[in-house]
Chains A and B, each alone.
Chain A
Amino acid sequence: MSSNAAPANAPRVVLSAADIDRALTRIAYEILEANKGSKDLLLLGIPRRGFPLAQRLARKIAATDPTVDAAAIVGQLDVTMFRDDLAHQPTRAPQRTALPASGIDEKIVVLVDDVLYSGRTIRAALDALVDVGRPRAVRLAVLVDRGHRELPIRADHVGKNLPTSSSEKVRVRLDEIDAVAGQEGTVDSVIIEAGA
């Protein structure tokens, strides 16, 4: 099955390292604006690539608001055990859930993930959140929204809307996770590959 968006089978780079950085800078400002400041703000990344994105956003927020300690407002929320496709996928190893020391009760929690697709990961994340506390509000920030939603879920902050065919694959590469040892330079990028 070939797609019109990628006539050649070569992967296309749709976001470069600089594009990702600009998008994250904008999202950081949007988060602060929507929240009217940094009060009660927490960023929870969804493993694996949502967590480094949450850390980068927190550093950008801390850079604009010196009262914020970037490390104290970031956490990781594992959603593996809450997925609705556990019985239909290869077994996934659960990842660590690490919440900020302040807990999430009565906080404004911004979930951070790399790609928003069917929305099922976010549904699982909402369930996982309920088990660790009761935030005052939950928002969603994603680097890429590729469409094809299967659930009534919408992102509040989007780095880039990418119209894709469902046969394509969207790959996000981040230095924190995908860097190859001994290789110079950044690997930060978002790539679309034609599907099989």
Chain B
Amino acid sequence: MRHLLSTEDLSLENAVRILDTAEEMAAVGEREVKKLPALRGRTVVNLFFEDSTRTRISFEAAAKRLSADVINFAAKGSSVSKGESLKDTAQTLEAMSADAVVIRHWASGAPAQLANSGWIDAAVINAGDGTHAHPTQALLDAFTMRRHLAKLAGTSSIGADLTGMRVVIAGDVLHSRVARSNVWLLKTLGAEVTLVAPPTLLPIGVEYWPCKVSYDLDSVLASGVDAVMMLRVQAERMNDSFFPSTREYSRRWGFDDARLAKLDTLGLKDTIIMHPGPMNRGLEISSAAADSPRSTVLAQVRNGVSVRMATLYLLMSGELRENAPAAGTTPNETTLNGTTLKEFA
């Protein structure tokens, strides 16, 4: 693995490896000295062409905890607003010898273009591109679910996947890169995913995704669910009328107080409520649900730093480029201290 562009091509082995590494990284956050020297002298560029608070801060915290130098680049107020192309921006970063580029872009596929064009030699990490993918968000969601399962079972989460977990992803699937990345990753990890959305907010071709689709949140909840992930209604991407009114949306597809109470009457005492943030309180999620003990919203933010540390570490350490196999080849097996290791280059 050289770049992290989407979860669709992430193998089960690599996904579990990222989650396991994140588990060790999480322990660092509880220490007095919250810093590891692993990426000392390496440079991470946060290249953000689209607004973001938590993802950028999370990546910045992750890189700094690994002792990397961080350069933040926001398109607003940069030469991009003077019309500089992605290629020229990338080559500028290359000339400054960036070792990894964390990119968020409004255009789907921009990170893949950056990774495969040969403009730049750095590892590329997709931090959200258009309506395509947001792999680190999916990984941190999976990490949160895996910890939840391990806590219920009283076992260690190391090495575990999500076999048998029933996950509902509800809301604006059409515009959501979080939903897309989650569907593929959760499928790889063995979870059963059901998407719930109004028909107008489901993308064309959703029937080919590895998940079930429903229009009725209540019946899906009644059939039993271990995690409910509410998606943000992305008003800034809505240039059409997708539903009659916000009130109707919140009544039919929002996680309101009535549905929160219903989880208890259904006997689903261990079901967690997730949200990738930022939340529209009162629209897709009620305040009571967002602040309830079931809510993992803040745990997700906390886990985000660990997962991004793991991603940066696994992509940026290890044998330097010249020996690394090209992306897409099978990993080499090497022996180290007598143990067979899969090379993760």
Contact = CB atoms under 8 A, between A and B. Distances in A.
Contacts of A22: none
Contact of A94 (B21, B338, B343): B21
A94 B318 contact: no
Contacts of B343: 90-91
A101 to B, nearest CB: 14
Contacts of A178: 338
Contacts of A97: 24, 27
Contacts of B319: 87-91
Given A81-B36, A81-B38, A91 B31 contact: no
A37 to B, nearest CB: 29
A87 B345 CA distance: 11
Interface in A69-111: 78, 80-82, 86-97
Interface in B302-345: 313-314, 317-320, 332, 334, 336-339, 341, 343-345
Given A86-B318, A90-B341, A132 B17 contact: no
Residue from the set A81, A82, A173 with the largest chain B CB neighbour count within 10 Å: A81
A127 interface: yes
Contacts of B313: 81, 91, 94
A90 B319 CA distance: 5
A115 to B, nearest CB: 8
Contact of A131 (B31, B317, B337): B31
Contacts of B36: 81-82, 131
Contacts of B152: none
Contacts of A82: 36-38
A95 B20 CA distance: 9
Interface residues of A, number: 27
Contacts of A136: none
B35 interface: yes
B25 interface: yes
Contacts of B33: 131-132
Given A89-B318, A91-B318, A127-B37, A78 B344 contact: no
Contacts of B24: 78, 93-97
Given A81-B36, A82-B37, A132-B31, A89 B336 contact: yes
Contacts of B341: 90, 92
A93 B17 contact: yes
B123 to A, nearest CB: 12
Nearest to A88: B319
A88 B319 CA distance: 5
Contact of B338 (A78, A131, A171): A171
Contacts of A131: 31-33, 35-36
A81 B344 contact: no
Nearest to B341: A90
A93 B318 contact: no
Given A81-B37, A81-B38, A86 B27 contact: no
Contacts of B17: 93
Nearest to A130: B33
Contacts of A171: 338
Interface in B16-75: 17, 20-21, 24-25, 27, 31-33, 35-38, 66
Contacts of B318: 86-87, 89-91
B320 A90 contact: no
A173 B337 CA distance: 10
Interface string B1-29: 00000000000000001001100110100
A90 B31 contact: no
A132 B33 CA distance: 7
Contacts of A93: 17, 20-21, 24
A110 to B, nearest CB: 21
17 contacts: A49-B337, A78-B24, A81-B313, A82-B36, A86-B38, A89-B336, A90-B334, A91-B314, A91-B317, A91-B319, A91-B345, A93-B20, A94-B21, A95-B24, A131-B36, A169-B338, A172-B338
Q: Which 9 A-B pairs have the closest CB atoms?
A: A91-B318, A81-B36, A81-B38, A131-B33, A94-B24, A91-B344, A86-B317, A90-B343, A171-B338
Interface of A: 48-49, 78, 80-82, 86-97, 127, 131-133, 169, 171-173, 178
